[in-house]
């Protein structure tokens, strides 16, 4: 199963279909991605699982689960530039002045680091 998910994550990254596919998946995909995130040995694969889980929860408007996953794991993925985008999205959902200011801060960092990424430009 993990090999299947690894292949899917690779294909998602190639074809930019991650958002659409995860948004249309049932919650079982989260269990599989969490297994990879919690037990995987490959840091890049674990980051992809982290990104998939956060994307799923955000698209399902499950803001508390989104924040819980980000708070727990984002420190492990600071070397991945896309984590700035995840932080920006998380803080944006708060809607208060402090959250919006942090969202802008991390959004600018994301643009600087990921200026050719479809979801950031």
Q: Which pLDDT value is given to residue 113?
A: 78
Token pair of 49, please? 């699982």
Do residue 11 and residue 47 come from a single domain? yes
Please give the tally of structural domains in the chain: 2
pLDDT of residue 115: 61
State whether 90 and 31 are in the same domain: no
pLDDT for residue 11:
42
Same domain, 97 and 71: no
Alpha helices in the chain (DSSP H): 2-15, 18-23, 28-39, 43-59, 63-73, 82-92, 97-113
Mark the ranges of the chain whose per-residue pLDDT is less than 70: 1-27, 114-121
User: What pLDDT was estimated at residue 9?
Assistant: 53
* 26, 68: one domain: yes
Kindly state whether residues 66 and 85 are assigned to the same domain.
no
Q: How far apart are CA 42 and CA 103, in angstroms?
A: 29
Tokens of 101: 């200011």
Tell me, yes or no, whether 9 and 52 share the same domain: yes
Reported as a single tens digit per residue, the pLDDT across 28-52 is: 788 888 998 999 888 988 998 898 8
């Amino acid at each position: 199963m993990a090999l299947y998910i690894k292949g899917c994550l690779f294909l998602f990254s190639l074809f930019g279909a991650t958002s659409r596919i995860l948004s249309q998946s049932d919650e079982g995909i989260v269990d599989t991605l969490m297994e990879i995130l919690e037990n995987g040995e490959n840091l890049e694969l674990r980051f992809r699982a982290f990104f998939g889980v956060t994307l799923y929860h955000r698209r399902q408007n499950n803001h508390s689960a989104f924040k819980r996953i980000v708070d727990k794991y984002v420190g492990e993925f600071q070397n991945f530039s896309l984590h700035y985008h995840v932080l920006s999205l998380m803080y944006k959902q708060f809607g208060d002045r402090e959250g919006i200011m942090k969202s802008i801060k991390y959004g600018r960092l994301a643009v600087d680091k990921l200026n050719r990424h479809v979801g950031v430009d």
